[in-house]
Structure formats: structure tokens, C-alpha cells
A = this chain, B = another copy of it.
Amino acid sequence: MSTLSAAAESTTVWAELRHAEPSDVPFLRRMIYQMAEFEKLTHLFSTTDSSLLSTLFPSPPLPPFFSFTPLVLYLSFTSPPVPSPQTLSITQFSLPSPITDPDEADFASPLGDGRVVAGFVICFPNYSTFLAKPGLYIEDIFVREPWRRKNLGKFMLSAVAKKAAELGMGRVEWCVLDWNVNAIEFYKGMGAEVFQEWRICRLAGPSLEKYKND
């Protein structure tokens, strides 16, 4: 009986992965900060709305997937989203019980249509010399805490991989922290190979600045 009752109460939610617009910048900034908190890297965070706007929305605009490409995940609770040129992919899922989203007000659509932003992806083209083909590098893929474990990460990664394959690209790549075993299992389940031997090297801050006067 309780199972039946729970099933009767489940509601449908629609998720739309859309190309971000300038009005999405405050959502992106707040989620990038939440990601820095999760990775314990807030000391590296210096992002502002204006720096995101000028770097992600240059004038003239660059074609999506051929430069920095921000995507935003919108959830709709009352009716399915109407596909637009901004839409990359739409899916739906069931919520067996209501979700408490403490940050809902910070992530509500400015249109007042009840939609809520639940995640984002930022990707850009990379290049493989062995294939002589561009690929896509996913800099960030993020779902806000209340909306995790609902296959939304899989939905976003699949949509980006589908687009890369359609564009004839050779690879989709991203990075994961080696202690994030849940993420690694998830990515392997998506078909990804996880490379153990490669290490990232970085020049940044004063170590980069000193080359200016070389």
C-alpha cells in the first residue's frame, strides 16, 4: 500500500540543457562558487559577473562548441519546456517525493515561470594531433546538491557527447579528482577511459607573470 501511495504522489520534472544567455551569468557565478566550495578551492575563486560576461559572451559572439561554450540546466515543474534554438537536449524524470532546495530563490528563472537552474556545463574545443581532429574538453560539469543522484549529470554529459559525435569530433575529455571514487565509477559507466599516467602541469599567478619580462 505504501508503495502504491508513493507512486501516486510522484511528480514529473522536465530538464532542459540550454545554451546559456547573458541573463544566466549570476546563476553560473553562484554555481562556480559552490563547486569551489565542494573542491575546497575557494581561495582560487576570483570570478565576477562582469568577468564571466566578457569572457563567455564576447562580441561578436563565437559559434557554440567552437569556443568557450556555457550550458545551463533548467528544471520545469509544471509543463514541458518548449524547444528553442538555445535548447541542446530535453529529458524528464520522476520525483517520488518533494525536494527541499534551500537555494531555490537564488536559482529561480527571472521570467517568474517557476523554472529553476539546477546545474551547468562549460566546455571548449581541444585538439588531438594524433587524430588531427578537434574534440571537446569539459571544464566543469556540475549539479546543485539537492538535484544530485537523479541522472542529471548523465543527461548533461550524454548531450555533450552526442553533440561532439555529431560534429565529427574525435574525443570528449574532462578531469576528475582521484579520490572522487563515485565520480570515477560514474564516468566509467558512461564508457570513459580514465588515464592513470598523465599529470597536469600548470604555470599560474607569479610563476606565469615572471615570463612577461623574459
Judged by DSSP, the binding face of A is: mixed
> CB within 8 Å of B: which of A172-202?
172-179, 184, 187, 190-202
* A137: chain B residues within 8 A (beta carbon): 126, 137
Contact (Cβ within 8 A) A202 B172: yes
Q: Nearest chain-B residue to A32 (Cβ)?
A: B129
Q: Smallest distance from the beta carbon of A83 to chain B beta carbons, Å?
A: 16
Q: Say yes or no: is A93 at the interface (Cβ < 8 Å to chain B).
A: no
**Residues in A111-142 with C-beta less than 8 Å from chain B:** 122, 124-135, 137, 139-140
Q: Is the CB of B208 within 8 A of A164?
A: yes
A71 vs chain B, min Cβ distance (A): 13
Stretch from A6-14, A47-55, A74-82, A95-103 that touches the partner? A47-55
Q: A1 on the interface (CB 8 Å rule)?
A: no
The stretch among A15-23, A38-46, A144-152 that forms the contact with chain B is A38-46
Are A211's CB and B165's CB within 8 A? yes
Report the minimal beta-carbon distance from A27 to chain B, rounded to whole angstroms: 13
| Residues in chain B near residue A132, CB distance under 8 A | 46-48, 51-52, 55-56
For residue A58, give the distance in angstroms from its CB to the closest CB of chain B. Answer: 10
Q: What are the 8 A-B residue pairs with the smallest beta carbon separation, nearest first?
A: A51-B132, A191-B207, A161-B211, A165-B212, A47-B132, A192-B201, A172-B203, A162-B211
